[in-house]
Amino acid sequence: MGRGNHKPRGGSLQFWPRKRTKRIYPRIRSWVKQDALKLLGFAGYKVGMTQAIIIDNIPNSLTKGMQVSYPITVIECPPLKPFSLRLYKNTPYGLKLVTEIFTPKFDKELSRKLSLPKKNKEKQVIESADEIRLVVYTQPKLINLKKRPELFEVALGGTIKEGIEYWKKILNSEIKLKDVIKDGQFIDVHSVTKGKGFQGPIKRFGLSLKGHKSEKKKRSAGNLGPWHPAKVKFTVPQHGQMGYHTRTEYNKLVLFVGENPEKINPKPGFNHYGFVKSDYLLVKGSVPGPTKRLIRLTEPVRQIKSLHPLEIKYIAK
C-alpha cells in the first residue's frame, strides 16, 4: 500500500499558539511605505458571499476572453470619520508618541467606546516627528448594525507635511471608500475568524479515528511523543481553542467598488445580515470571519503585479 493517503495531522505550525484574540477586530502592526499621499487602509463589515460571472482578461490564461464564475465576498463599508492625528518618533525602543491632535467635534456614539477628551492640547513638536498615523472610527449606525463604533489607527503615505495638510482637509468631513480603494487592485484582509470554542484533535487538526482495537482513547493522537526529552512538544496535536484567531490573507483582488446597493441586494436580503445600505466592495474569494464582523483592509505588503479591472457580466442575487 502506498503512502498517498497518509495524513497523520493537519494544521499549520505557523499559527501558534492557537489562543483567542484579545480584541474582536485586529490591530495592524506592519504597514507598507508609499511616497504618494494616501490613506493606507479602510474597514467594512462582512455581508456574506455570492457569485459573479466575469470575463477573464488575464494574459496567458486558458480561459482568456471567456466568462468565468467566481465566488465573491460582499463587504459593506460606510464612511469613516477622523478622530485624531498621531505623530510618532523613532527611538531605539520603537515608535514613541510625540503628540496627538484631536478633531474639534465627535459623534455622540463615540462616548460608548471611550472617554472623550475635553480639551485639545496641541504641542508644537511637529518637526521632530518621523511617522504619522490617523486614528479613525466607524459609523455602524448608518447601516443600522449597532451603535458602538470601532476605533483604530491607519497609516498615511507621503511626508509629514503632506499628512498634516491632508488632516486639515478632512478634519470636519468623512472618508469614503472610493477615495482609498479602487477597482482591480489588490488588498490585504485582516479579520478575526469564526469562534468554534474548545475542540478535540480530530476536528482541530484533522486526525483520523483510531481503530477498534486501539487502547484507551479513540479521538486522540496515537502518542504524545518520545520518552526523552521528557516533555510534550507543542507540535503534538491536542485539544484546545479553535477559531476566534486573528488572521491575515494577502493579495485579495478587489473586483468592484460600488455605491449603488440595488445592484447586489437580493429581494429577501442577505442571510443573517439584511440589506446593504452604504458603499460596498466585492472581493474575489472568501474572507475570514462571520457575518457582521469588522474586516480591516490595507494596501498589500507583498505587492504582486496588478491586474486590469475585470468586467463583471452578472452578479447572483
CA distances from 77 to 88, 100, 115, 143, 310 (A): 28, 26, 25, 9, 21
pLDDT at 306: 65
Beta bridge partners of 281: 75, 257
Residues 190 and 313 in one domain: yes
Averaged pLDDT, 283-297: 97
Q: Tell whether 133 is covered by a domain.
A: yes
- Same structural domain for residues 188 and 153? no
The predicted model gives 41-47 an average pLDDT of 97
Average pLDDT over residues 202-227: 90
Query: What is the pLDDT, as a whole number, of residue 1?
Result: 46
- Share above pLDDT 90 across residues of the chain, in percent, rounded to a whole number: 68
Same domain as 134, residue 124: yes
Residue 147: is its pLDDT beyond 80? yes
pLDDT at 188 over 70: yes
Q: What is the mean pLDDT of the chain?
A: 90
What is the per-residue pLDDT across 62-88, written as a single tens digit (0 to 9) for each? 988 899 999 999 999 999 999 999 999
Q: What is the CATH number of the domain that holds 261?
A: 2.40.30.10
Contact 109, 65 (CB under 8 A): no
**Cis, bond preceding 26 (omega within 30 deg of 0):** no
Q: Does 314 lie in the same domain as 191?
A: yes
Number of domains in the chain: 2
**Residue 225 pLDDT class (50, 70, 90 cuts):** very high
Cis status, amide bond into 17, omega within 30 of 0: yes
Residue 224: pLDDT band (50, 70, 90) is very high
Region 18-27: what's the mean pLDDT?
94
Q: How confident is the model at residue 271 (pLDDT cuts 50, 70, 90)?
A: very high
Cα separation, 38 vs 235, in Å, equals 42
**Shortest CA distance to 53 belongs to which of 39, 26, 30, 72?**
72
Are 110 and 70 in the same domain? no
Residue 98 belongs to what domain range?
Answer: 80-175
pLDDT digits (tens, 9 = 90+) for 105-138: 889 999 999 888 876 655 555 667 889 999 999 9
What pLDDT sits at residue 21? 95
**Does 151 share its domain with 200?**
no
Are residues 131 and 276 part of one domain?
Answer: no
Q: Which of 178-182, 214-218, 232-236 has the lowest mean pLDDT?
A: 214-218
Whether 138 is covered by a domain: the verdict is yes
Q: Are residues 138 and 246 in the same domain?
A: no
Whether residue 115 sits in one domain with residue 257: no
Q: Is the pTM of this model over 0.75?
A: yes
Confidence of residue 8 (pLDDT cuts 50, 70, 90): low
Does residue 221 lie within any of the structural domains? no
| Residue 293 domain-assigned (yes or no) | yes
Measured CA to CA, the distance from residue 136 to residue 106 in angstroms comes to 11
- Max mean pLDDT among 3-17, 124-138, 180-194 falls in 180-194
**In the predicted model, what is the mean pLDDT of residues 87-109?**
90
Nearest to 68 by CA among 308, 284, 317: 284
Residue 66 lies in a domain: yes
How confident is the model at residue 12, as a pLDDT? 83
CATH number at residue 154: 3.30.1430.10
pLDDT of residue 71: 96
Residue 106 included in any domain = yes
Contacts 24+ apart (CB under 8 A), 15-22: 15/245, 15/247, 16/234, 17/234, 18/204, 18/240, 18/241, 18/242, 18/245, 19/241, 19/245, 20/195, 20/241, 20/244, 20/245, 21/192, 21/244, 21/245, 21/246
Q: Please indicate, yes or no, whether residues 197 and 279 belong to a single structural domain of this protein.
A: yes
Flag whether 167 is in a domain. Answer: yes
| Nearest residue to 29 (alpha-carbon basis) of 304, 303, 298 | 298
> Which of 155, 175, 195 is the last residue in one of the domains?
175
Query: What number of CA atoms fall less than 13 Å from residue 67's CA on the CB side?
Result: 7
CB 53 within 8 Å of CB 314: yes
Same domain, 95 and 170: yes
Say how far residue 8 (Cα) sits from the centre of its chain.
31
**pLDDT, mean of residues 287-313:** 88
Same domain? For 166 and 117 the reply is yes
- Please tell me the predicted confidence (pLDDT) of residue 246: 95
Would you state the pLDDT for residue 64? 87
Indicate whether 272 pLDDT > 60: yes
